[in-house]
A = this chain, B = another copy of it.
Amino acid sequence: MQKDTLIQCHRRIRPYIHNTPVLSSRAINRMAGADLLFKCENFQKGGAYKMRGATNAVLQLFGKLPVVTHSSGNFAQALSLAAKSAGVEAFIVMPSTAPQVKKNAVAEYGGKIIECEPSLAAREAAAQEIERETGAVLIHPSNDENVIVGQGTACMELLEEHPDLEFVLAPVGGGGLIAGTSLAAHYFGTSCRVIGGEPFAVDDAYRSLKSGRIEANETTDTVADGLKTQLGDKSFPLIQRYVDSIIRVTEAEIIKAMRLIWERMKIVVEPSSAVALAAVLRKKEKFADRKVGIIVSGGNVDLGNLPF
């Protein structure tokens, strides 16, 4: 993908998204021994960076074709909202076991929910049926070039404000955010290295980079519920090419970093968002006195079920 693809994408989606603020905390900087700049996608429409990729994907469609995805998380809300802005229908396949609060959020943004059994096979089958019946276009939450480029615009905006960043960190789930981030850093940074943060419990990206092929997660036992998904064949080659390394963190480190952000920065962020800060705090020597960007992925949490 070329530099111009990112520039055009940003121009295309800009009217539909927020250029989210960049915050910092002197207390956290002191603890980290580095100059950290947090790109706050928790303030993005729909509460997460997913709105960027979803909007780019929807706006790239010719005509007013409906869209369909299978997701129980932030992408479901993002696609519903992006489709609404663009004036197209969105069908969202969700497992029947998805929390009611997530179903409500999708419905509120105008997405049409189709329930299915809680298995990947059932989700894919239900989505295919909708494609056949309605002519809807399937948009994958992360393994889609338009989505990947869209997610990269958060890092583009961060580098516009701070062109001299030496590192940018983002969490790694399906790989869309880190792949887009690494593209943006490659084209718009000045020797800016991109590092992924990943829970030990779902370290498929770490192991995939080691082995050179896409590895599967063996468990999904992490508090960072947005990071349970697997890398895809669109995101992995970009990650191999442009991502410097992956730092793995423990569950305790994630929860501690999350609490630190809430207490010191007074913002609500998801556990997944705290993984990048946890990585910086785990490898302090690597980032000492450096200027480091952190992509805060989102703020959609169940306040009735916090890990602290």
Interface residue ranges, A against B (CB under 8 Å) = 21, 42-43, 47, 259, 262-263, 266-269, 299, 303-304, 306, 308
The answer to whether B268 touches A43, judged by C-beta atoms less than 8 angstroms apart, is: no
| 8 other A-B residue contacts (CB within 8 Å) besides A262-B303, A268-B268, A303-B308 | A21-B21, A43-B266, A47-B266, A262-B268, A263-B303, A266-B299, A267-B267, A304-B308
Name the residue on B nearest A298 (C-beta): B266
Which residues of B lie under 8 Å from residue A267 when comparing CB positions?
266-268
Q: How far is the CB of A73 from chain B (nearest CB, A)?
A: 16
Bound complex: CA A267 to CA B265 (Å): 9
8 contacts between A and B (CB under 8 A): A47-B266, A259-B303, A262-B268, A262-B303, A263-B268, A263-B303, A266-B269, A306-B306
Measured in the bound complex, the distance between the Cα atoms of B269 and A262 in whole Å is 10
Residues of B within 8 A of A303 (CB): 259, 262-263, 306, 308
B residues less than 8 Å from A21 (CB atoms): 21
Question: Is the Cβ of B266 less than 8 Å from the Cβ of A42?
Answer: yes
Q: Which B residues are CB-close (under 8 A) to A263? A: 268, 303
For residue A43, which residues in chain B have a CB less than 8 angstroms away from its CB? 266
In the docked arrangement, what's the CA distance between A181 and B303, Å?
31
A303 to B256, CA, bound (A): 12
Min C-beta distance of A85 to chain B, whole Å: 13
**Nearest opposing residue in chain B for A101, CB measure:** B263
In the complex, chain B residues whose CB is within 8 Å of the CB of A304: 308
The interface residues of chain B lying within 8 Å CB-to-CB of A306 are: 303, 306
Q: How far does the alpha carbon of A303 sit from the alpha carbon of B259 in the complex, in Å?
A: 8
Q: How far is the CB of A49 from chain B (nearest CB, A)?
A: 13
Q: Which residues on B sit within 8 Å (CB–CB) of A308?
A: 303-304
Measured between alpha carbons, how far is A263 from B306 in the docked complex, in Å?
13
> Shortest distance in angstroms between A223's beta carbon and chain B's nearest beta carbon?
15
Q: How far is the CA of A42 from the CA of B47 in the complex (A)?
A: 19
- Quote the shortest CB–CB distance from A39 to chain B (angstroms): 14
Bound together, the chains give a CA A42 to CA B42 distance in angstroms of: 17
Most buried by B among A42, A262, A304: A262
Query: Chain B residue with minimal CB distance to A44?
Result: B266
Query: Measured between alpha carbons, how far is A211 from B299 in the docked complex, in Å?
Result: 46
**Nearest CB on B from A50, distance (A):** 14
Give the complex CA separation of A14 and B267 in angstroms.
24
A268: which B residues are within 8 A, CB to CB?
A: 262-263, 266-268
A110 to chain B, nearest CB (A): 14
A40 nearest in chain B by CB position: B266
CB-based closest 4 A-B pairs: A266-B299, A266-B268, A42-B266, A262-B268
